[in-house]
């Protein structure tokens, strides 16, 4: 009875893992007919290994292995190589093969001794060959580490001439040195997301259900990823977020580990040489090495990727995000010892019950806005004319300020409640202070592409730029934060039926 229950447990576990693997392969666009045949081979080999007599003529485990197990194993290897494999996996694969050979050799040796019934029986030839093969594969695994890393570095180095050419193209500026507070939007490429993830928070895109839909829904759009450079006459050169980096866009599989690759797409990010953070800074007259402080709204990798270029900077972020947020260690590897966690003990600030006056002079206020991540925060900067509120991902775009009509995917439960509360506090702040304008990390409307770009072309928010931004806000949103006609987002599918769609506002 116990043996049967154990087999049933193994069967359930194996089928669960197999089903998850098939789902991942389908998400990677492997054809359904191929997956059907492959799934039958997997199921048959598992069942046949546990109960060989169930499969009739394949009534022994040896036959099940030969006719079902081997094809299923080869299929697994082939599909993995086709949709997941990357060169940095080579040492791991060789190490796994080495371990398998050594285990098999040990099993063969023990079986031979048991069969002979003599403690001093000579090792079998099979055990000797398997052991030797395992040791050889182990050596190859060690040797391949450097080979794989060199190949990856060479692939990345091929982008360096393009970036240098982008720095030298006409239009680069000299840094303006005066007493003005300047802000420069930096477009660090685009991220490919599902339309529902971006705009479907009121249509069921919430929590686990929303996450699953992001994996299977193919209605995708490209949205920008922005960081912001602050040139402050008293506090130096700072960034709000850092965007994505060149490796994320051009070496996605090498940048992320195997698990991350299973659940993401290789074209998740796209970036031209001119959109590289280092190129942007150079063309504005700055150097990445001059950045002293990064205010990270949250730990997600499309906001933290550029930290790889800023090992000298102090990174200011909410402790809750560092301890409980979804972060990728490689992005933080060079700055993990230079983190600064605000205490949020400067008292209430408008609609916010607490905040952090970072420099102690009222020039930059950190505002906790949890929900999108456990420790998400917004950054309020006072400029010579008015102020700017860096939104991070609390709200993606200007239309998202109409939070009861347009909403991004939320985590669900208490996190959704917190995020909506944060959005309403932002509404009150903007309503009470007509001299403050929001700046978004992913705005794909003309507010960002036309008006913000024009207002901050020289980095200084003048009276005219402030007026135009606030006027546009009032043209899009009513005083009670509803969308006016002509500003509701709609998904437009690509004409060919495949590829990226676009967003129209009607």
Q: Residues 305-325: pLDDT tens digits?
A: 999 999 999 999 999 999 998
Residues composing the chain: 506
226 compared with 3, residue with greater pLDDT: 226
What are the tens digits of pLDDT across the range 128-183?
888 888 899 999 999 998 888 888 888 788 888 999 999 999 989 889 889 999 99
| Residue 499 falls inside a structural domain | no
pLDDT at 410 over 80: yes
Return d(Cα 400, Cα 398) in angstroms, integer: 5
pLDDT reported for residue 222: 97
The CA distances from residue 53 to 11, 36, 49, 343, 472, in Å, are 15, 23, 10, 66, 74
What are the tens digits of pLDDT across the range 341-365?
999 999 999 999 999 999 999 999 9
DSSP SS3 for 464: helix
At residue 419 the predicted structure's pLDDT band, cuts being 50, 70 and 90, is very high
Q: Give the residue ranges of DSSP H helices in 1-89.
A: 2-27, 32-50, 61-64, 70-83
Q: What average pLDDT score do residues 384-413 get?
A: 97
| Residue 501 falls inside a structural domain | no
Task: For Cα atoms 434, 435, 439, give the angle at the middle one, nearest 5 degrees.
Answer: 100
DSSP SS3 for 349: strand
pLDDT reported for residue 289: 96
At residue 112 the predicted structure's pLDDT band, cuts being 50, 70 and 90, is low
| CATH number, position 266 | 3.60.15.10
Query: Can you give the residue range of the structural domain that contains 97?
Result: 2-156
Least confident span in 23-32, 50-59, 112-121: 112-121
| Residue 45 falls inside a structural domain | yes
Tokens of 479: 């005083």
Assess whether 116 and 162 both reside in one domain: no
Tell whether pTM > 0.85.
yes
Q: What average pLDDT score do residues 221-248 get?
A: 97
The CA distances from residue 383 to 349, 362, 462, in Å, are 17, 11, 9
Assess whether 145 and 186 both reside in one domain: no
| Residue 506 falls inside a structural domain | no
Residue 192, burial from CB neighbour count under 10 angstroms (0-12, 13-18, 19+): middle
Assess whether 143 and 251 both reside in one domain: no
Instruction: Write the DSSP assignment of 212-268 as a string of letters.
Output: HHHHH---EEEEEEEEEEEEETTTEEEEE-----HHHHHSHHHHS-HHHHHTS-TTS
pLDDT at 99 over 80: yes
Chain mean pLDDT for the chain: 91
pLDDT reported for residue 49: 80
Tokens of 478: 């009513």
pLDDT at 337 over 80: yes
Place of tokens 């959109």: 275
| Residue 408 falls inside a structural domain | yes
Which of these three, 103, 122, 156, is where a domain ends?
156
pLDDT reported for residue 109: 76
Percentage above 90 pLDDT, the chain: 63
| 421 close to 502: Cβ distance less than 8 angstroms | no
Assess whether 109 and 217 both reside in one domain: no
At residue 390 the predicted structure's pLDDT band, cuts being 50, 70 and 90, is very high
| Residue 504 falls inside a structural domain | no
Map 378-399 to HEC letters: EEEEECCCCEEEECCCCCCCHH
> How many domains does the chain fold into?
2
At residue 290 the predicted structure's pLDDT band, cuts being 50, 70 and 90, is very high
Assess whether 66 and 125 both reside in one domain: yes
DSSP SS3 for 438: strand
The CA distances from residue 497 to 119, 492, 493, 501, in Å, are 69, 11, 7, 9
Top mean-pLDDT range of 30-39, 146-155, 394-403:
394-403
Assess whether 129 and 203 both reside in one domain: no
pLDDT reported for residue 108: 77
Half-sphere exposure of 460 (CA within 13 A, CB side): 14
At residue 382 the predicted structure's pLDDT band, cuts being 50, 70 and 90, is very high
| Residue 394 falls inside a structural domain | yes
Q: What average pLDDT score do residues 217-240 get?
A: 96
Assess whether 68 and 193 both reside in one domain: no
pLDDT at 119 over 90: no
| Residue 502 falls inside a structural domain | no
pLDDT at 121 over 80: no
Assess whether 112 and 218 both reside in one domain: no
DSSP SS3 for 359: coil
Assess whether 205 and 252 both reside in one domain: yes
Assess whether 185 and 82 both reside in one domain: no
pLDDT at 120 over 60: no
Which of these three, 156, 189, 206, is where a domain ends?
156
Assess whether 151 and 263 both reside in one domain: no
What are the tens digits of pLDDT across the range 426-449?
999 999 999 999 999 999 999 999
Assess whether 487 and 380 both reside in one domain: yes
pLDDT reported for residue 218: 86
């Amino acid at each position: 009875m116990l043996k049967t229950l154990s087999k049933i447990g193994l069967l359930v576990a194996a089928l669960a893992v197999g089903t998850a693997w098939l789902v991942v392969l389908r998400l990677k666009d492997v054809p359904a007919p191929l997956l059907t045949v492959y799934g039958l081979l997997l199921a048959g080999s598992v069942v046949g290994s546990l109960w060989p007599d169930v499969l009739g003529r394949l009534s022994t485990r040896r036959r099940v292995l030969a006719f079902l197990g081997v094809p299923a194993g080869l299929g697994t290897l082939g599909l993995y190589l086709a949709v997941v494999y990357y060169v940095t996996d080579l040492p791991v694969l060789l190490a796994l093969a080495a371990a398998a050979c050594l285990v098999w050799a040990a099993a063969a040796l023990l079986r031979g001794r048991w069969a002979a019934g003599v403690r001093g029986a000579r090792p079998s030839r099979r055990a000797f060959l398997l052991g030797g093969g395992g040791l050889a594969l182990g050596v190859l695994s060690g040797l391949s580490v450097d080979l794989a890393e060199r190949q990856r570095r060479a692939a990345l180095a091929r982008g360096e001439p393009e970036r240098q050419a982008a720095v030298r193209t006409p239009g680069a500026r000299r840094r303006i040195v005066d007493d003005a507070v300047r802000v420069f939007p930096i477009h660090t490429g685009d991220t490919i997301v599902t339309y529902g993830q971006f705009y479907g928070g009121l249509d069921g895109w919430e929590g686990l259900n929303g996450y699953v839909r992001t994996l299977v829904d193919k209605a995708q759009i490209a949205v920008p990823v922005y960081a912001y450079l602050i040139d402050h006459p008293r506090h130096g050169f700072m960034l709000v977020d850092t965007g994505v980096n060149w490796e994320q866009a051009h070496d996605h599989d090498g940048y992320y580990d195997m698990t991350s690759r299973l659940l993401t797409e290789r074209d998740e990010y796209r970036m031209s040489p001119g959109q590289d953070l280092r190129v942007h800074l150079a063309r504005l007259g700055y150097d990445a090495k001059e950045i002293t402080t990064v205010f990270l709204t949250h730990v997600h990798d499309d906001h933290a990727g550029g930290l790889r270029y800023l090992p000298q900077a102090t990174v200011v972020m909410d402790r809750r995000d560092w301890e409980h947020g979804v972060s990728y260690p490689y992005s933080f590897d060079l700055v993990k010892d230079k983190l600064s966690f605000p205490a949020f003990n400067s008292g209430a600030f408008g609609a916010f019950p607490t905040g952090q006056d970072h420099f102690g002079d009222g020039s930059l206020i950190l505002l906790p806005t949890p929900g999108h991540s456990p420790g998400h925060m917004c950054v309020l900067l006072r400029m010579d004319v008015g102020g700017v509120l860096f939104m991070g991902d609390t709200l993606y775009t200007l239309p998202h300020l109409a939070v009861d009509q347009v909403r991004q995917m939320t985590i669900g439960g208490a996190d959704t409640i917190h995020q909506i509360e944060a959005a309403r506090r932002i509404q009150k702040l903007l309503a009470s202070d007509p001299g403050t304008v929001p700046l978004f990390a992913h705005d794909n409307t003309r507010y960002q592409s036309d008006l913000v770009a024009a207002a901050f072309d020289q980095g200084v928010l003048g009276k005219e730029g402030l007026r135009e931004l606030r006027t546009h806000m009032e043209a899009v949103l009513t005083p009670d934060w509803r969308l006016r006609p002509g500003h509701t987002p709609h998904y437009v599918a690509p004409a060919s039926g495949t590829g990226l769609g676009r967003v129209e506002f009607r």
